[in-house]
Amino acid sequence: MNSKKRIVIIGATSAIAEHCARLWLAKQPADLTLVGRDTLRIERVATDLKVRSPLSEIRVIQAEFLDAEAMNATVRDIVKSGNIDIVLIAHGSLPEQAECQNDLQYSRDALELNGVSPVLYAEAFAKYMEKANHGTIALIGSVAGDRGRKSNYVYGAAKGLVTRYAQGLQHRFANSGVKVILIKPGPTDTPMTAHLKGKGAKLAPVEDVATQIVDAVEAGKSIVYVPGKWLLIMAIIQHLPSAIFNKMDI
């Protein structure tokens, strides 16, 4: 019987997800399933993790992120091996707002990848966790989902969907053995934000963000802003009167 903790990471090639995986395996060997779209990149992550944790069982799955039936089949295959302890849903992209405004297909793809896709993956795992009355679903949203801003409102709308969905899922599983955690990172130093760093943006170290995520999952928190300062920052932004907010260039 496999006594190792079963962890599944959707979007395992993201920098945040990769660092979370390293932290989990550093704590103890695990049964880890890495899911992504690019087989070569997932294999690279898996190879690195195997070197770091030789006693862990690590498998990779190339999967679709926009085809609902294919996503459902992927999750069905994963749960065949037994109950899941943790699923981290971490995939996404940071679209250019100007491109979203000028190209409806680009905008649609951004909304689906960053909003609809994470929600569907969470829903697919939720039904199995509900039957087992066990497991944690950790969804990576974003502070961008707290209030629409002209600089990234398509991305923000997608992450706002993730926020509302996570709240509903938490309500569904209240007082059960299933936990749902919504993670809201601020701008983080990853390849996805390299263009922001080039513009002088202050970005949180990905190692620090991953550490806070792993700690939040272990503690079973319902919502966590990483770094924590974003809880205060976004509380202020959310409550600014429109007359003031609309004059801000953010």
pLDDT at 74: 98
pLDDT at position 192 over 90: no
Domain containing 209 — which CATH number? Answer: 3.40.50.720
Average pLDDT estimate for 108-136: 98
> What is the pTM (predicted TM-score) of this model?
0.94
Averaged pLDDT of the chain = 95
The reply to whether 213 falls in a domain is: yes
Instruction: Give the domain range for residue 88.
Output: 5-245
Helical axes 39-52 vs 15-27, angle rounded to 10°: 30
What span, in angstroms and rounded, lies between the C-alpha atoms of 121 and 72?
7
3-state secondary structure 7-37: EEEECCCCHHHHHHHHHHHHHCCEEEEEEEC
pLDDT at position 103 over 70: yes
- 114 DSSP assignment: I
The reply to whether 198 falls in a domain is: yes
Tokens read off for 58: 């690590």
pLDDT band at 191 (very low <50, low <70, confident <90, very high): confident
Four-residue CA torsion sign, 76, 18, 196, 228:
positive
What span, in angstroms and rounded, lies between the C-alpha atoms of 55 and 190?
28
Average pLDDT estimate for 57-72: 97
pLDDT at 57: 97
pLDDT band at 22 (very low <50, low <70, confident <90, very high): very high
pLDDT at position 1 over 60: no
The reply to whether 42 falls in a domain is: yes
The reply to whether 104 falls in a domain is: yes
- Tell me the percentage of the chain whose pLDDT exceeds 70: 96
- 142 DSSP assignment: -
pLDDT at 2: 60
pLDDT at 45: 97
The reply to whether 204 falls in a domain is: yes
The reply to whether 185 falls in a domain is: yes
Average pLDDT estimate for 220-232: 95
The reply to whether 250 falls in a domain is: no
Average pLDDT estimate for 141-150: 96
pLDDT at position 197 over 70: no
pLDDT at position 207 over 90: yes
> Higher pLDDT residue, 93 or 198?
93
pLDDT at 198: 66
3-state secondary structure 49-95: HHHHCCCCEEEEEECCCCCHHHHHHHHHHHHCCCCCCEEEECCCCCC
What span, in angstroms and rounded, lies between the C-alpha atoms of 112 and 137?
19
CB–CB of 15/192 below 8 Å? yes
> Higher pLDDT residue, 193 or 171?
171
- Tell me the percentage of the chain whose pLDDT exceeds 90: 92
Total domains, the chain? 1
pLDDT at position 238 over 70: yes
Tokens read off for 46: 């898996």
pLDDT at 190: 81
The reply to whether 174 falls in a domain is: yes
